[in-house]
């Protein structure tokens, strides 16, 4: 991990985290191009966004300007570590709404490359980000929301130690059916 939380780079920080299976790095020009492509993916939209249409180019630029480079967010590109120094860009995650005074943040993740889904990469990235947030940053709490039909994501979060804390019943419509939005949380004292 590097020491600087803020610098003029695209991601707004220079933190690099290494795990056994993944590395989390600030966004650069290449990873931003992939992020733009992922934000336009209808399946990722279905799994992770309240609205059902993908993000347009103009909306993407607004998201980058207002969120990814903000002082309240640490955004990371997720790289699968393959062998030696070889890595493959597969997704992104963020620690958002950073509140250092109260020791909390919200967590978001998207595995953008379809062939990287369902292989434990999301769990590895989530564990690495949680260890950094609750250990390195000294936060007490991470929170997230997930749609109830996204059982793979729920299992991922539970493996890392997140617990269900509440539900917004029938909050969204997908595939012609109403689904709950589940709120989950992880405390520093919950870490496994």
Q: What is the pLDDT of residue 70?
A: 60
Establish if 157 belongs to a structural domain. Answer: yes
The answer to which of 61-70, 85-94, 117-126, 137-146 has the lowest mean pLDDT is 61-70
Establish if 8 belongs to a structural domain. Answer: no
Establish if 104 belongs to a structural domain. Answer: yes
Q: Which residues contact 190 (CB under 8 A, 6 or more apart)?
A: 161, 162, 163
DSSP letter for each residue of 72-109: T-EEEEEEEEEETTEEEEEEEEEEEEEETTTTEEEEEE
Using the predicted structure, report yes or no on whether residue 6 has a pLDDT greater than 50.
no
Q: What is the pLDDT of residue 109?
A: 94
Q: Which of the given ranges, 15-24, 38-47, 65-74, has the highest pLDDT on average?
A: 15-24
Using the predicted structure, report yes or no on whether residue 144 has a pLDDT greater than 90.
yes
Structural domains counted in the chain: 1
pLDDT > 90 fraction of the chain, expressed in percent and rounded: 56
Q: What is the pLDDT of residue 119?
A: 93
Q: What share of the chain is helix, strand, coil (3-state, %, to 5)?
A: 30, 35, 30
Q: What is the pLDDT of residue 4?
A: 41
Q: What is the pLDDT of residue 30?
A: 83
Q: What is the pLDDT of residue 85?
A: 82
Q: What is the pLDDT of residue 12?
A: 67
Q: Which domain holds residue 30?
A: 17-190
Average pLDDT on 2-28 reads 72
Establish if 10 belongs to a structural domain. Answer: no
| Residue whose entry in the numeric block shows the structure tokens 């909390």 | 104
CATH number at residue 115: 3.40.630.30
Confidence of residue 33 (pLDDT cuts 50, 70, 90): confident
Establish if 11 belongs to a structural domain. Answer: no
Confidence of residue 41 (pLDDT cuts 50, 70, 90): confident
Q: What is the pLDDT of residue 37?
A: 81
Establish if 169 belongs to a structural domain. Answer: yes
Establish if 12 belongs to a structural domain. Answer: no
Q: What is the pLDDT of residues 84-135, one digit of tens each?
A: 788 999 999 999 999 999 999 999 999 999 999 999 999 999 999 999 999 9
């Amino acid at each position: 991990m590097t020491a600087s939380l803020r610098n003029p780079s695209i991601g707004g920080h220079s933190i690099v985290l290494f795990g056994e299976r993944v590395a989390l790095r600030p966004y650069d020009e290449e990873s931003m191009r992939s992020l733009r492509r992922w934000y336009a993916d209808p399946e990722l939209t279905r799994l992770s966004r309240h609205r059902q249409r993908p993000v347009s180019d103009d909306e993407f630029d607004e998201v980058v300007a207002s969120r990814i480079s903000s002082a309240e967010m640490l955004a990371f590109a997720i790289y699968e570590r393959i062998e030696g120094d070889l890595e493959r860009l597969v997704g992104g995650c963020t620690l958002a709404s950073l509140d250092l005074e109260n020791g909390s943040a919200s967590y978001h993740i998207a595995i953008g490359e379809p062939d990287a889904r369902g292989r434990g990469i999301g769990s590895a990235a989530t564990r690495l980000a949680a260890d950094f947030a609750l250990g390195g940053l000294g936060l007490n709490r991470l929170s997230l929301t997930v749609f109830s039909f996204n059982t793979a994501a729920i299992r991922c979060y539970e493996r890392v130690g997140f617990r269900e804390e509440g539900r917004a019943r029938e909050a969204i419509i997908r595939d012609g059916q109403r689904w709950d939005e589940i709120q989950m949380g992880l405390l520093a004292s919950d870490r496994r």
